[in-house]
Chain A
Amino acid sequence: MGAGHAHPLHLDHDSRIHRLPAEVKIVATLLFTIVVVITPREKFVAFAGYLLLLVGVLVLAKVPPLWLAKRATIELPFVLLAVALPFAGHGERTEWLGMSLSIDGLHGAWNIFAKGTLGVLASLLLAATTTTRDLILGLDRLRCPQVFTQIATFMLRYLDILFDDARRMRVARLSRGYDPRFLWQVKAFAVGVGALFIRSYERGERVYLAMVARGYGGRLPRPDGPGATTADWARSAALPVAAGIIALAAVIL
């Protein structure tokens, strides 16, 4: 985690999509993903249509395609599962290049690959255009229970504390000649984990009490402005509505 309120998947620049309030982006992403998932897997054209829609968002958000592709590799384990399915699946089989492939497995592989990829791309676009702070503000505006936003706020702040403290302790161990080679030397690491927890907690507690002393009551102050306008909602609805039309067209035709 870098400094401030960025997260590693955030792309820090300005675009139409970046400027949209977080809550409308969350809802649009959720609806789009639901449409993608309920689309029957044989409607190949529909999935191409969804991909085009996401490319449109990508252009509007000025996200470099390569940047996005690199981060989409998070999906690789599931692609591997998809590759294994035609070989491991049951049911009717077909011959291709001398390999016996299960038709159900092939369909399943396509299903996981297409729906998984589209979902990951949509989430990545949301993450690339939304800062941590905006995301929590968006969840708050969507009436997400305060307990959640409170835990999430602290979690994201404590992650930095945790990583910084872990780094400091590692440097301290190394500078005292720590060079583990054998299994029984893992004790230093184990004790370190517990110490890390206590240290981070006590740091976090001080920060929390300081916040309480300054009037924190479970919710961070909201920035001025009314939040999402009707126009924002309408603009962001374009994505799920277009996806819905594609899905309907694919099913009816």
Chain B
Amino acid sequence: MNGVAMHIANGIVNAQVSAVAAAVAAAALAICVWRGRADLDDRLAPMAGLVAAFIFAVQMLNFQVLPGVSGHLLGGTLAVVLVGPWVGALCVSTVLIIQCLLFADGGLTALGLNITNMAVIGTAAGYLLVAGLLRLLPKTPRGVAVTTFIASIVSVVVASQAFVLEYALGGTTQLSLATIAGSMAGAHILIGIGEGLIAAVTVATVARVRPDLVYALRRFRNARPAVTPATKTVGVQA
């Protein structure tokens, strides 16, 4: 369990940007708590825990990007497909909080940055793509798997570029931004492909065996009139 895993540590990004990110993360999570509470029924509660545990496990796989900067799987898209965007973002942030408090992974003052990148931006990017792609692709296990694969890659790259943006705004040293942006993007495309494969295989299996557990599919099975992604309402209650 003691892999060398690390999110943004204390002191990498300055206090002002960290504070802004903490405020952004807190606001976004407050919305997620508010919207997610209605989602968290008897079926979703154990699923949310399992998704969080699964993300926790896959985040232990780390890949070296630059000396000192490593990337890892994020799991945001998997969470979106299985438990929906609100609970999904909460799952990822729970993982980050527990990693920070119990495993000293990621700085306590950088928690806002880590949550903003991975739980909010990464999950939001994944969600928008999943919602969009599922309109085009068939709502079959295969369609969901392809959707998950594509959305995973994009969401991982977007989350990694969010770090570059934060570093540009409040990095404590001047490194060439182009180098960071390039190597982060390059490495995270590869990581995204790896994550996409794991997430797609998982989602495809779940969609085949227990389609009732896939939040993204449940929404469309629902007899309710179609809802736009921006104002999506709660899925079917168990």
Contact = CB atoms under 8 A, between A and B. Distances in A.
B52 A108 contact: no
A152 B209 contact: no
A148 B103 CA distance: 18
Overall SS of chain B's interface: helix
B11 A114 contact: yes
Given A78-B9, A80-B68, A154 B173 contact: no
A112 B12 contact: yes
Overall SS of chain A's interface: helix
Given A112-B172, A193-B198, A201-B46, A74 B2 contact: yes
A83 B67 contact: yes
B201 interface: yes
Interface string A53-84: 00000000000000000011111111111111
Contacts of A135: 98, 101-102
B202 A88 contact: no
A106 B47 CA distance: 47
A82 B50 CA distance: 36
Interface in A77-95: 77-85, 88-91
Contacts of B36: 147
Interface in B134-186: 172-176
Interface residues of B, number: 65
Contacts of A201: 46-47, 50, 206, 210, 213
Given A119-B10, A123-B101, A197 B202 contact: yes
A83 B67 CA distance: 9
Interface residues of A, number: 85
Contact of A154 (B2, B49, B69, B198): B49
A123 B201 contact: no
Given A73-B4, A84-B68, A158-B50, A26 B101 contact: yes
Interface stretch (B37-45, B122-130, B227-235): B37-45
Contacts of B42: 208-209, 212
Nearest to B197: A190
B223 interface: no
Contacts, number: 233
Given A116-B9, A159-B56, A190-B197, A197 B206 contact: yes
Contacts of A157: 49
Contacts of A120: 9, 104, 107
Contacts of A85: 173, 175
Contacts of B2: 8-9, 71, 74
A153 B175 CA distance: 40
Interface of B: 1-2, 4-6, 9-12, 15, 18, 33, 36-37, 40, 42, 45-50, 52-54, 56-57, 64, 66-70, 87, 90-91, 93-95, 97-98, 100-105, 107-109, 172-176, 197-198, 201-202, 204-206, 209-210, 213
Given A123-B100, A155-B52, 4 more contacts: A147-B40, A151-B91, A154-B53, A163-B57
